[in-house]
Structure 1
Amino acid sequence: MLSKKYVGIIMVFMVAVVLTSGCTSLNGVLDLINDKMCNKQLVNDTSYANISANTPTKTYSAYGIRFKYPRGWTVESENESGSNMIFALKEISFNYVQFQIQIVPNNGMSEEEAIRQIQDGNLVQSTISPSWEKKSSYTMTIDNKTAYEDIFLVNDSHFSKIMRISQITLVKNDKTYLMLLQAPDEEFDKEKPYFAIILNSLKFP
């Protein structure tokens, strides 16, 4: 049932498979690309920290994670897939605004190794599916930890509009937290204050 509602999950699951398998295809190409990426200093994305929304909120807690969210949104969690996941949706719809988080064990990998696996997975995804176009990468601070943000534009037949999806990766206490912010590209900036409510209040175990 959830897979019909949350198309953005596809990206998270693909990344999770890469993370848990510990390997990717196209290793030679990925190593060259990653070598170039390592020489680039990522800019810190402070856009969420510097905005706020004057809207009533509720607090949600599951799997040791706690955050605030706009009162009119719907939040639920599930672990039928074998991974603990949380969804916060502005409305239950194929195309619309949502936040997702998936918890993946690191299986003993260091933070650097876990982040590397996610980056490699993103590169493989972009190679396999040109409809996912990576636009930029940043760092950001969530719950006093450095997180890594990759922003994609998605022009896919599953969606009726061009979507902007921000994938945020945070590693803490031998777990990787994979987060997605999703909205139509033309509406994403308008929704940022509501995403900021969630991101600025997130607490991890």
Structure 2
Amino acid sequence: MKKYLIILAVLAVVVMISGCTTTSTINTKNFSTSGMSFQYPETWNVSSQVNNNSTQVMVASPEFISSNATKGSVLLILKLSKSGDNNMSQTRQELMTQAQQSGQNATNATINIAGVTASDISYTGKDTTGNNTYGRLIDFEKNNSLYLLLFASGGGADIDAVKPYFDVIVKSFNVE
């Protein structure tokens, strides 16, 4: 009987905890350039560079900027004109191999972004000083362009806290 009471108590705690989740709202700003747009956390900084065949966008957390890129989170977005030289399948395989060889936990999946199916590779691990690191590469083709979204977080940044910020960008990412 005592065994059942302990199991019921544990189940009751699990149910109460799962029912007590909170959802916080992330205040955002909108960004648009070169036929792509997305929302990003309002406290983050965005910079971009547009060339004839490419667009580069960097979205950086305040921590990343204030630490001179040694701690924090950043997103790099590349839009490239599609050519025969762009082979993302080889790049994906190399990324997965490197992550696995360095002992990082890597996953390879697909997601829907900007109305298309995209490759979504993520990994977690440790840097050379023992800090947790997180990386995520999303890539897809649309309208004769190749899009790469590379998320990175490290240097002791709170990775679990930043993932919802990255999700805001992914969920709102759009291509005209």
Answer with 1 or 2: which has the greater Rg: 2
Out of 83, 89, 96, the position equivalent to 1:107 is: 83
Instruction: Please say if residues 108 and 174 of structure 1, whose CA atoms lie closer than 8 Å, have aligned partners that are also in contact.
Output: no
Out of 16, 27, 34, the position equivalent to 1:56 is: 27
Structure-1 residue corresponding to 2:20: none
- Mapped pair 1:133 → 2:104: yes
Distance 2:164 2:96 in 1: 29
Gaps of 5+ in 2: 1-22
1:82-101 equivalences under 5 Å are 83-91=54-62, 92=65, 93-101=69-77
- Mapped pair 1:118 → 2:118: no
Cα distance, 1:154–1:164 mapped onto 2, change above 3 Å: same
Cα distance, 1:89–1:53 mapped onto 2, change above 3 Å: farther
Cα displacement string for residues 156-187 of structure 1 (whole angstroms, at most 9, x for unaligned residues): 44x77231101111111222111112223873
Instruction: Please say if residues 61 and 74 of structure 2, whose CA atoms lie closer than 8 Å, have aligned partners that are also in contact.
Output: yes
Higher relative contact order (CA 8 A, sep 6+): 1
Distance 1:70 1:186 in 2: 16
Instruction: Give the strand-richer structure, 1 or 2.
Output: 2
Cα displacement string for residues 119-144 of structure 1 (whole angstroms, at most 9, x for unaligned residues): 234256558xx548351111111122
Structure-2 residue corresponding to 1:202: 173
CA RMSD, Structure 1 to Structure 2 (Å): 3.0
TM-score, with structure 1 as normaliser: 0.60
Distance 2:130 2:33 in 1: 32
Distance 1:196 1:78 in 2: 23
SS, match of residue 97 in structure 1 = strand
TM-score, with structure 2 as normaliser: 0.69
Cα distance, 1:171–1:57 mapped onto 2, change above 3 Å: same
Instruction: Please say if residues 125 and 134 of structure 2, whose CA atoms lie closer than 8 Å, have aligned partners that are also in contact.
Output: yes
Cα distance, 1:147–1:53 mapped onto 2, change above 3 Å: farther
Gaps of 5+ in 1: 1-51
Distance 1:75 1:65 in 2: 14
Cα distance, 1:53–1:137 mapped onto 2, change above 3 Å: farther
Between the aligned residues of both structures, percent identity stands at 24
